[in-house]
Structure 1
Amino acid sequence: MRRLTLPLLIATLVLAGCGGRFSDSGWNPLRWGSGSSGPKTLEPDGGYTAGTDQRPAIGQIVSARWEPLSEGRLLVVQAVPPTKGYSSVELVTMTPQPPGRISPDADGVLRLRLVGVPPLPDSDAARMIANPATDTINAAMSLSHVQLARITAVEIVGASNVGTLRR
């Protein structure tokens, strides 16, 4: 037993010198744990892209309402585009945020834009004016209870007006 105790004690002291607050000391023979092998920040290499969505805002916001969900609420927005043929309609945040995250500004207001891809300029749909009775566009965004806890109001920006919805 005595033969094993001394080598184990020495090995323990050597390994203890390799980490913790002594990682940069002389007790660390190979400088294990010193230096930074990982990134200092979680921000991507090029930084967060300030690339706002290049799609134009949809014409006029007609209505906005909350629909209950078991895990939060569904924000439903109706709008009328200026012409027929809009596609890929979506609610996007005004401030750039990491993908999959939705958080309000510092004042508690979630600012969104209703955007879509307009029809090609030389198409028939681009020449037809949208009829509010038949060409209403619906867009929705689900928000969880955790996201809603920080939101006091939602502001939806269209091309010609702004709709505000209080919680």
Structure 2
Amino acid sequence: MSKLTAPLLIATMILVGCGRLGDSRWNPLSWGSAPTPTLEPEDGYAQISDTRPLIPQIAAARWEPLNEGRLLVVNGFAPVRGYSSVALVTARPQPGNRLAPDADGVLRLRLVGVSPAPGSAAALPARPGVDEIAAAMAISSVQLSRIAAVEITSGSNVVTLRR
């Protein structure tokens, strides 16, 4: 028994004394702490924001109840008909379908769309109250729990809804 104790004690002392904690790969304390290599760029991934222009004006905004959250419905108005690809997008780019508010608890959205080409048949004058542009966004109860208010920006006005 004593013949086995001395070599084990010597081996343990050698491993413990292997330089500073993170310097030696023989040190068992540093085996799991090595940084894992990643393919992510040093500056992070480029975030592409939506380049569609803002709808000229917001006419109304309201909440509609859903089973698991609320539906944010926004009506806008433009001087001409024919807007396409109308949507509510976050003011700052966010990955995937994530809706995270800013540090103050306000979710900032933009009402955007593509205007018709000048001179096209779709670019007829719009009639107030009839030719409104509508966009909606479903927000789950989990996402709503972090949001104190929603701020929607258009070309000429900003509308804020509290939960």
TM-score interval w.r.t. the shorter chain?
0.7 to 0.9
Query: What letter corresponds to residue 131 of structure 2 in structure 1?
Result: D
1-structure distance, mates of 2:132, 2:96:
28
What TM-score does the superposition give when structure 1 sets the normalisation length? 0.74
Aligned residue for 1:125, secondary structure, equals coil
1:83 to 80, 85, 91: 80
SS in 1 for 2:122: helix
Aligned-residue Cα RMSD (Å) equals 3.0
Residue deviations 1:21-40 (CA, integer Å, cap 9, x gap): x8964647xxx868544329
Counterpart CA distance in 2 for 1:33 and 1:166 is 47
Partner Cα distance (1:122, 1:133) in 2:
23
- Pick one of 139, 146, 153 that aligns with 2:149: 153
| 2:129 counterpart of 1:165 | no
Would you say the 8 A contact 1:112–1:156 is kept in 2? Answer: yes
Determine helix, strand or coil for the equivalent of 1:155. strand
C-alpha contact 1:60 1:79 (8 A) present in aligned 2:
yes
Q: Which residue of 2 aligns with 1:38?
A: 37
Q: Secondary structure at the match of 1:138?
A: strand
Aligned amino acid, residue 130 of structure 1? A
Instruction: Percent identity, please.
Output: 60
Give how far 1:136 is off. Answer: 0.9
Alignment of 1:26-65 (within 5 A): 27=26, 35-39=34-38, 44-45=40-41, 47-65=44-62
CA deviation map 1:17-67 (0-9, x unaligned) = 9xxxx8964647xxx868544329xxx536243432111111211111111
Point out where structure 1 has 5 or more consecutive residues left out of the alignment. 1-16
Match of 1:135 among 122, 131, 149: 131
Structure 2 distance, partners of 1:81, 1:96, is 25
Q: Is the contact made by 1:49 and 1:96 (CA closer than 8 Å) also made in structure 2?
A: no
The CA distance in 1 between the partners of 2:109 and 2:59, in whole Å, is: 15
Distance 1:116 1:26, change over 3 A: closer
Shift of 1:93: 0.6
Unaligned runs of 5+ in 2: 1-14, 16-20
**Residue type at the aligned position of 1:53:** D
TM-score for the superposition, normalised by structure 2: 0.75
> What is the letter of the counterpart of residue 115 of structure 1?
V
- Per the alignment, do residues 60 and 27 of structure 1 end up closer, same or farther by CA in structure 2, a change over 3 Å counting? closer
Q: Distance between the aligned counterparts of 1:37 and 1:152, measured in 2?
A: 38
Whole-angstrom CA distance in 1 between matches of 2:133 and 2:160: 18
